[in-house]
Amino acid sequence: MPIVKFVPQNKEIDVAAGTNLLKAADDAGLYIEGDCAGKGTCGKCRVKVIGGADEPPTTAESKLLSESELKAGWVLACQRNIEKDCTVEVPVQKDAHTRKTTLAGGVENLDVEPAVEKIAVKLNRPAVKDQTADLERLLAELEKGELHVKPRELAGFPSMLRKNSYSVTAAISGKRILSIEPGDTTEQLYGVAFDIGTTTIVGSLLDLKTASVIAVAAVTNPQNIYGADVISRITHASQAEDGLKQLQDKVIEAVNKIIHDLLRQTKIARDRIYEIIAVGNTTMSHLFMGIDPTYLAPAPFIPAYSKALEVEAAELGIRINPAGRVIFLPNIAGYVGSDTVGVILAAELDLPGDNCAAIDIGTNGELVLRANDKLMACSTAAGPAFEGAQIKQGMRAAAGAIETVSYINDGIELKMIDDAPACGICGSGLIDAASALLDAGLVEPSGRFVNPEENPDKIPAQFKDRLRRGNGGYEFVLVSGKESDTGEDIVISQGDLRELQLAKGAINAGLMILLKEADISENDLDRVLLAGAFGNYVRRESALGIGLLPQIPAEKIIAIGNAAGDGARMALASLTMRKRAFELSKTVKHMELSTRPDFQEFFVDALPFRKMQ
Amino acid sequence: MPIVKFVPQNKEIDVAAGTNLLKAADDAGLYIEGDCAGKGTCGKCRVKVIGGADEPPTTAESKLLSESELKAGWVLACQRNIEKDCTVEVPVQKDAHTRKTTLAGGVENLDVEPAVEKIAVKLNRPAVKDQTADLERLLAELEKGELHVKPRELAGFPSMLRKNSYSVTAAISGKRILSIEPGDTTEQLYGVAFDIGTTTIVGSLLDLKTASVIAVAAVTNPQNIYGADVISRITHASQAEDGLKQLQDKVIEAVNKIIHDLLRQTKIARDRIYEIIAVGNTTMSHLFMGIDPTYLAPAPFIPAYSKALEVEAAELGIRINPAGRVIFLPNIAGYVGSDTVGVILAAELDLPGDNCAAIDIGTNGELVLRANDKLMACSTAAGPAFEGAQIKQGMRAAAGAIETVSYINDGIELKMIDDAPACGICGSGLIDAASALLDAGLVEPSGRFVNPEENPDKIPAQFKDRLRRGNGGYEFVLVSGKESDTGEDIVISQGDLRELQLAKGAINAGLMILLKEADISENDLDRVLLAGAFGNYVRRESALGIGLLPQIPAEKIIAIGNAAGDGARMALASLTMRKRAFELSKTVKHMELSTRPDFQEFFVDALPFRKMQ
């Protein structure tokens, strides 16, 4: 069997001859970026075969890689099958998680009301005069009435009890003993809140005694090898043999990786984690629980379930205390998942208050509106453009991503994350770029580049060389190959602008529908909350500039950080918050947009880049 | 690796050189009898090496096998290690289970009140106007309020629902959905009641709609390779590496074998079994659940738990519906287990009634006394003599076992099970034999054979040749080698009589203690119930004759069949009975005998064979 060695990660794997290189990398535990599920259209899975590739480039490679790259041995991993031993260089992934993890802990004061209680007891020694069984002896001392306990928790209990002079601690959740531990372990009471994003998974370790976040870790959702968006994943789950299992295995593996990282950071023992609360969109929750998501995809978009599901960690293969409870917060409807429940909880939208819209833009866009104390929510198929996917040189918000683009002093100024040499553009940079190009007069409100051949006088001299004809229409060069990290020009293409228009049009139209249903106008909005990393880093002026947000004063637009994750943390820290979350799936009114004729009108109306006055 | 072939079962197995032959047979799935856990003292694991054994006989073999047997290639499996390919003949086990299985169903009219309910529903098709999730749609139609459901039960639900035109059946237990099934399956509702004996495991398949027993199956408890009695098994669980796991695996394997047999007999689908109720002694319940039984063995004999434990079938690896509930009824104390709870339930001793003693003689002996409407129970270390173990030519109640021995017309008359040629003696035959030898004047009430050398005139002429000196004292030849199945003389030895005395003394003394505690005499007993296969087949006159039972009229002695198993069936069929069983562990007063000085007095007093007048 051929052996593939991946450098610089230094991982080797034996594979059957003919194995796809992307799959081999995945089997070796390496995450390779990619948005197209191996179709050869996104060009992001580029790797370098040391010594060059045997076979000539495929059509996809010829299209997506430059001649010099091809010569140097670059290939698309998804296009290549392994026939013999080889060494493959995998570009080191820039850390795209820093921004998502540093956002965690946005809610500073969590209520302390954990679902798990720990009680330390010292039992009387048994004797012929008192032959009470060990468990019944413990139950009597706990004074909690009838408690359910599983054989697994009792397996080693008798010896442990005697080795520890009859001092033990019970971890109790409701009417269940989760764990019986030697000595007094009441100080060790932990849980993890997970935000299972389509693109990124973030976990926060909480000390449940104090409700404080003591560590945060994140990984790329490894399901991305099956596609960047939820529809690709649903398709894989429905159609591939064992597809559902593969997707579930991927997310559980990622969750275990995060837990491992959290334990490494804090030196806490694995078995002292007793609860996990997870949020995520509906597709993520189905895949996490291993439940068929097939009927989420076609109209009428029916999930298998909405309510919160609870399962033992051991049953899912999640490596915390085996009896630990894993609870995925409830879904609201087809594409409005528990991540939105988390946003509502974090922003306290389920309580009476002002007229407030919350927008969570990730790979999907979810909108919530509280108007006259009623709650409505909807989901828009924004697509993954804001995560940098489907964008020619799009990338996630990692070092070297162009994040701000300004039109200042008749010039275009750029700022890259970490001030690193540019290697692509992230979601907030894309919005900035569109806004700046509008300001510079290079893009028309319709979203089209000004045609430099028809209207040469409309193009300022300093941009004449930078607005040029590309493969699919005009494109604007943000960074020349001489200055970029990749050696290639970094451009905004006409296609990129179109992707952005579709995404912003969808979100904008969704919000308009909610306002219409609530019978209020955008002027009646007291606040617009932007949730998620994207919302945190996007420039409000640019978002307003391209018309992504309704035309309200910028000071009413407030970034609230990773609110979905905050909601998960709140539900983990407090039983009261958790109960509120459970109720939300019933009390939020869901608006299905996709089949409404007025949505199409709003959508078309919202496609142009409209600048606020 | 050497290959061992077992005939006539025709099983082959590769083993590491040096593997013990008994272990190899076990690995090949063959049950070989044996009582001494491979110590080479019981001589029951005899097998024949085709072509003869390589090595000379071991000391144990020389002692336990005749010269002609050794010549013919017979060896003790426990004494031999496999060094090269060989073929081994394993004597086909006579069926020792018929009597235990035909006893099942002793309680004819079980209450019908199953814990699992099935509801068939037809759901409305979802539409854009009604986007309720599949599960919530089902829950609304079931009208049972909040029900808990695990992800596993939902995994394939969406497709199944649509393939079956939205007709499904839910199996519900308490607040839990165990299973969602296609179409209307309300007619298919089954459970299995298990009696997990130290020696034999019996399972009864019940149709829970009618509470009728529709099939019964039994196997030898395969834990017997680790010893015949509970103490050997506890020792193995405590001391051998992975010993507890091995013992649990054995019993679960046996349970699965029985389930397989029940399904084969009835053509019922595995997933339509939703509950298992098991009873067994305290050691069996610990091993079944995989819980350390170490502290049951030494004083003060503390079980890890007493209450009923419940666990999902899938967690134990029991192959019924994966969500099926497995409940082991509660223990009462150290050596009084849920089998006794079953006896009490079956005999309705927990209800007010006459003064009644129940005796369940298996490998252990448990006694229950209801006197003045109070319940007491105790356990006696009767040892496995009544199952034919520790008896020189003892065997279980299978074809060819001497089961009745009568002193009639100055002669000894025998009857073998199935009228087959004699090959050993079973428990009831042993009691009969002792009683007959007492009647014939060959055995003194002290339990000693009359010494034919000292008192030649006391030996009737017809027995002069049959009472002879053996290896360990005198012995009486019941069947000569010419007539026996084995070609060997079948005898009752002085040692056998001693074993019987110890067993009967223990039981008798236990009963006396209970009577003393209740402050009544044996004359106050209205009934004595004999539970179990042994109780069913023992001749009351003989049991009275040797003083095993208190001196009451024979008509007050009533065999009630496999009452422990009946109790399990009752608790399976009826929730009310189950609740009664759960209460019993708290309401029965346990008497610990082993540390009472008066027990020793009663015991010594009860050792002689006392004939009733």
Cβ(A341)–Cβ(A584) below 8 Å? yes
User: Do residues A494 and A461 both lie within one domain?
Assistant: yes
Domain annotation covers residue B69? yes
Name the residue of chain B whose CA is nearest to A287's CA: B155
Residue that finishes a domain, picked among A182, A199, A234: A182
Sign of the C-alpha dihedral computed for residues A520, A524, A529 and A535 taken in this order? positive
CA distance A448 to A442: 9
Which chain A residues are Cβ-neighbours of B300 within 8 angstroms? Answer: 126-128, 130-131
Return the amino acid letter for B537. Y
**Considering Cα of B383, then B385, then B388, then B392, what sign does the dihedral take?**
positive
Judgement on whether residues A374 and A395 belong to the same structural domain of the protein: no
pLDDT tens figures, B121-167: 999 999 988 999 999 999 999 999 999 999 999 999 999 999 999 99
The CATH number covering residue B156 comes to 3.10.20.880
Question: Between residues B471 and B308, which one has the greater pLDDT?
Answer: B308
> In residues, how long is chain A?
613
CA B366 to each of CA A25, B194, B510, B588, B595: distance values in angstroms, whole numbers, following the listed order = 64, 18, 9, 13, 17
Q: CB-based contacts of A504: which residues, under 8 Å, 6+ apart?
A: A382, A431, A546, A547, A548, A606
Measured between beta carbons, which residues in chain B are less than 8 angstroms from residue A316?
Answer: 151
- If asked whether residues A21 and A50 sit together in one domain, one would say yes
Contact: B133, A595; criterion CB under 8 Å: no
Question: Cα distance from A292 to chain B (closest Cα, Å)?
Answer: 6
- Tally of domains within chain A: 5
Best probe of the B interface among A123, A132, A134, by most B CBs < 10 A, is: A134
Q: Does A166 touch chain B (CB under 8 A)?
A: no
Decide the pairing of beta strands B212-220 and B200-207.
antiparallel
Interchain contact, B300 vs A126, CB within 8 Å:
yes
Chain A interface mutation, best of B307, B316, B582, highest count of A Cβ atoms under 10 Å: B307
User: Which residues of chain B does A304 touch, with a Cβ-Cβ cutoff of 8 Å?
Assistant: 133-135, 154, 157-158
Name the nearest CA neighbour of B199 among B90, B319, B280.
B280
- Is the domain of A478 the same as that of A530? no
- Asked if A303 has any chain B CB less than 8 Å from its own CB, the reply is yes
The strand pairing partners of A120, in sequence order, are A169
pLDDT digits (tens, 9 = 90+) for B337-396: 999 999 999 999 999 999 999 998 876 789 999 999 899 999 987 766 776 667 888 888
Q: B165, B182, B199 — which closes off a domain?
A: B182
Integer Cα distance of A602 and A594 in angstroms: 12
Residues of chain B with C-beta less than 8 angstroms from the C-beta of A291: 151, 154-155, 157-158
The DSSP code sequence of B416-448 is EGGGPPP-EE-HHHHHHHHHHHHHTTSB-TTSP
The answer as to whether A504 is a domain residue is no
**Cβ-Cβ contacts under 8 Å, A306 against chain B:** 132-133, 135-136
| Domain match, B128 and B79 both | no
Chain CA centroid to CA A29, Å = 20
Burial class (CB in 10 A: 0-12, 13-18, 19+), A482: exposed
Confidence (pLDDT) at A303:
96
Does any domain span residue B494?
A: no
The angle subtended at Cα B259 by Cα B253 and Cα B264, nearest 5°, is: 125
Same domain, B84 and B30: yes
B positions 129-148 inside 8 Å of A (CB): 130-136, 148
The pLDDT value recorded for residue B11 is: 76
Question: Global pTM?
Answer: 0.83
Residues of A with CB below 8 A from B292's CB? 155-159
Q: Who's near B595: CB < 8 A, 6+ residues apart?
A: A128, B299, B300
Domain assignment present for A94 = no
Q: Is B317 on the interface with A (CB under 8 A)?
A: no
Residues of A in contact with B135 (CB under 8 A): 304-307
In this structure, is residue B289 part of a structural domain? no
* Number of cross-chain residue pairs from A and B with Cβ atoms under 8 Å apart: 146
Same domain for A207 and A320, yes or no, is yes
Domain interval for residue B40: 3-89
Please tell me the distance from the alpha carbon of residue B390 to that of residue B363, in angstroms, as a whole number: 11
In a domain, B141, yes or no: yes
CB contact under 8 Å between A136 and B302, yes or no, is: no
- Name the residue of chain A whose CA is nearest to B153's CA: A291
Query: Do residue B128 and residue A244 have CB atoms under 8 angstroms apart?
Result: no
- Tell whether B18 lies on the interface with A, counting CB pairs under 8 A: no
- Is the residue at B28 inside a domain? yes
Within-domain flag for A466: yes
| CATH number for the domain harbouring residue B81 | 3.10.20.30
- Three-state secondary-structure class, residue B218: strand
Tokens of A565: 């994750």
Contact A556, A354 (CB under 8 A): no
Tell me how close the Cα of B310 comes to any Cα of chain A, in angstroms. 7
How far is B458 from A110, CA to CA, in rounded Å? 94
DSSP assignment of A594-609 equals TT-HHHHHHHHHH-S-
Among B136, B150, B336, most A C-beta atoms within 10 A, so best to mutate, is B136
Please indicate if any CB of chain B lies within 8 Å of the CB of A150: yes
Shortest Cα distance, chain A CAs vs residue B379, angstroms: 14
Q: Tell me the CA distances in angstroms from A450 to A315, A369, A409, A464, B132, one per residue in order.
A: 58, 37, 20, 12, 48
- Chain A contact for B290 (CB, 8 A cutoff): yes
Quick one: A489 and A575 in the same domain?
Answer: no
Set of chain B residues whose Cβ sits within 8 Å of the Cβ of A135 = 304-307
Tell which of A54, A89, A124 closes a domain. Answer: A89
The first and second tokens of residue A207, run together, are 């000390």
Q: Does the CB of B322 have a partner CB in chain A at under 8 Å?
A: no
Chain A contact present for B289, CB below 8 A: yes
Per-residue pLDDT at B101: 56
My answer on whether A323 and A219 are in the same domain is yes
Cross-chain Cβ contact A158/B304 below 8 Å: yes
In a shared domain, residues B121 and B75: no
Confidence bin at B567 (pLDDT 50/70/90): very high
Q: Burial of A146 by CB count in 10 Å (0-12 exposed, 13-18 middle, 19+ buried)?
A: exposed
3-state secondary structure B236-255: HHHHCCCHHHHHHHHHHHHH
Window 239-268 of B: residues touching A by CB (8 A cutoff) are 244
Residues A27 and A120 grouped into a single domain: no
8 A C-beta contact, residue A610 and residue A543: no
Q: Is the same domain home to A225 and A352? A: no
Rg of chain B in Å (alpha carbons): 27
* Of the candidates A447, A420, A419, the residue with the CA atom closest to the CA atom of residue A433: A447
Low-confidence ranges of chain A (pLDDT < 70): 29, 31, 33-35, 92-108, 363, 383-384, 387-389, 611-613
Please judge whether B315 and A150 are an interchain contact, meaning their C-beta atoms are less than 8 angstroms apart: yes
* CA B525 remoteness from chain centre: 28
